[in-house]
Amino acid sequence: MPAHTSPADLYRHSLRLLLDKNIPGWVGLWAEDGVMEFPFAPQGWPERLEGREAIAAYMRHYPDHIDLHDFPDLRIHQTTDPGTIVVEMRGVGRLVETGKPFDMTYIAVVTVQDGFITSYRDYWNPLTIQEPGTDFVRSSR
């Protein structure tokens, strides 16, 4: 993506890459020193990933666990910092191992600099992993 791409456009592009299961392409949107954080991560799950390589390792097997179909209810909010957006969305699809539906609500705070994601705070709901049939998600996190 060109450096002049807005954070909102870059984020929308990142969602298309996830739907296409193009994890290398998605990781390519990250700055080398990008940071991904999970403020609500349950004990034993990563709270912070530092650097593109760590993020790539974390996401590498995501499509083996979750088959994403859509991101409905996407709302992207601009902030007073032109490089930072707040995203509200749902990810829907199916759990690969069980075939059961996957439906997760997310709020993310994303910062983009020079056309790359530099910071991504993912406020996903850890209570969903306590639901029956979702134990596998732990291995993708």
State residue 117's pLDDT score: 98
Q: Where are the domains of the chain?
A: 7-140
- pLDDT at position 42 is 87
Low-confidence residues in the chain, pLDDT < 70:
1-4, 128-141
Q: What is the pLDDT of residue 16?
A: 97
To 10 degrees, the CA torsion angle through 58, 60, 62, 63?
Answer: 170
pLDDT for residue 9: 97
Q: What is the CATH topology of the domain spanning 7-140? A: Nuclear Transport Factor 2; Chain: A, (3.10.450)
Q: pLDDT tens across 99-139, in order?
A: 999 999 999 999 999 999 999 999 988 776 655 544 444 44
How far apart are alpha carbons 54 and 2 in whole angstroms? 24
